[in-house]
Chain A
Amino acid sequence: MNKIQIETAINGEVVEFLCEPQQSLLEVLRETLGRTGTKEGCATGDCGACSVLMDGRLVCACLVLAAETGGHAITTIEGIATDAGLHPIQQKFLEHAALQCGICTPGLIVATKALLEKHPEPDETTIRYWLAGNLCRCTGYDKIIRAVQDAARELAHPA
């Protein structure tokens, strides 16, 4: 097997791993590195469950080769909460019952973080289009949108 050695930063931690050239970042995160918070729903970029940030930009981990990540910074769901506790987006998802089964939740939270960094006070349409790549089959999106709106309010105007 023609494995490649990669050094990258995951949630601020320098991580080294070996991967096959065709392996995705998602597969390496989950099966090699044990970072299973990033979920696989389709592996074809259609569901957003594997959303991560690469150098701050929102991407699907299933559509990034692990081999490409050398020298880049990856943020996964495991890197959203801080020493101070849950991120306000995580807290609002809980308060608004914005998750039912929860499988899409890590991807949605990562995508929301990217949204609010770019559009701190998004309107409902902006939220819905930004999150259109994150499929949720349980909630009908209503409570997710409300959680994002509330998180935006809290982040823009901390109590």
Chain B
Amino acid sequence: MGGFSYAAPGSVDEVVTLLGEHARAGRRAQVLAGGTDLLVQMRGVDRTPRTIVDIKGVAETGTLRLDGAEIFIGAAIPSAVLNDHAELAALFPGLLESADLIGSTQIQGRASLGGNLCNASPAGDTIPALIATGARTVIAGPAGRRELPVEDFVVGVGRNALAAGEFLVGLKLARPAPGTADAYLRFTPRTEMDIAVAGCGVSVTLDTNGVCTAARIGIGAVAPRALLVPAAGQALVGTRIDDAALAAAGAACSAAASPITDKRGTADYRRTIIAVLCRRAAATARDRARGAGA
């Protein structure tokens, strides 16, 4: 009975030390950022005692840096803070669309990109959007720091690439090239308060003639983990993202999907609508890119 404890270390090193001690002692420790998944799991499917390691006291996890060529988003920043950030919204409207879809206003007051990513739900809204932007994870651990592309960070349902003693400090995103814009769309039966039945993040770069020179498309809730779909991006490159290109990209998403049937939708349904979402999100990203210096 009991066996829960709570710790709030003040630095990256302290977090790593604490996690390492637990790993060596065979005691369970779990990192807490916003807690909007963790607390629900602790009360439901996963009640086993553990040490809760609150990383919100670590300055870097709450840091948002937009001054350099690389943007850094601390892992524990609530999505509400990101949503209110006009400059970030101008750079990554699609990523913020995805952050704005994590649960309710209340949830957004707590939930973070880092938590959404580490929770590694196949349906996590920000993951396909992060994949589309080409974001990289910044991981701290006993051996120092390492970086991984988001699409390689999530390895399965509820599983991420963090090794024992490691935790996610934040995300790095390259400043978008001129003519670049992103968009995220998901499908849910209700307008709000739902888990994605399918979700699609798209980032496109257009040249001054409106021709697509680069595209990244991430899909969620249609496979055990969010996926980068290179074929879908390639379907747009070299086109003006016309209807034919959109259809081809959508078809590539459907082909890449390996969905399941569950309470939220059937496999067939998911395979069908991921193409619809891809077409619609890509069209939105294209229209934004045209307005973004293309």
Contact = CB atoms under 8 A, between A and B. Distances in A.
* B8, B106, B193 pick with most chain A CB within 10 angstroms: B106
A80 interface: no
Interface residues of A, number: 33
Given A45-B104, A114-B105, A132-B191, A57 B80 contact: yes
A63 B4 contact: no
A46 B193 contact: yes
Contact of B43 (A43, A48, A54): A43
B2 A68 contact: no
Interface in B91-137: 103-107, 109-110
Interface string B3-14: 111101000000
Nearest to B56: A68
A71 B12 CA distance: 21
A145 interface: no
Contact of B106 (A1, A22, A45, A65): A45
Interface in B167-216: 191-193
Interface in A41-90: 43-46, 48, 51, 54, 57-60, 62-65, 67-68
A4 B103 CA distance: 30
B232 interface: no
A29 to B, nearest CB: 15
A130 B43 CA distance: 26
Contact of A58 (B6, B52, B109): B109
B106 A44 contact: no
Interface residues of B, number: 30
B103 A45 contact: yes
A65 B284 CA distance: 39
B89 interface: no
B110 A132 contact: no
Interface string B32-44: 1011100110111
A37 interface: no
Given A21-B6, A44-B44, A60 B52 contact: no
Given A45-B40, A57-B109, A132-B191, A65 B104 contact: no
B78 interface: yes
A54 B107 CA distance: 12
B54 interface: yes
Contacts of B107: 45, 60, 63, 133
Contact of A63 (B5, B8, B35): B35
A123 interface: no
A131 B104 CA distance: 8
Contacts of B110: 59-60, 63-64
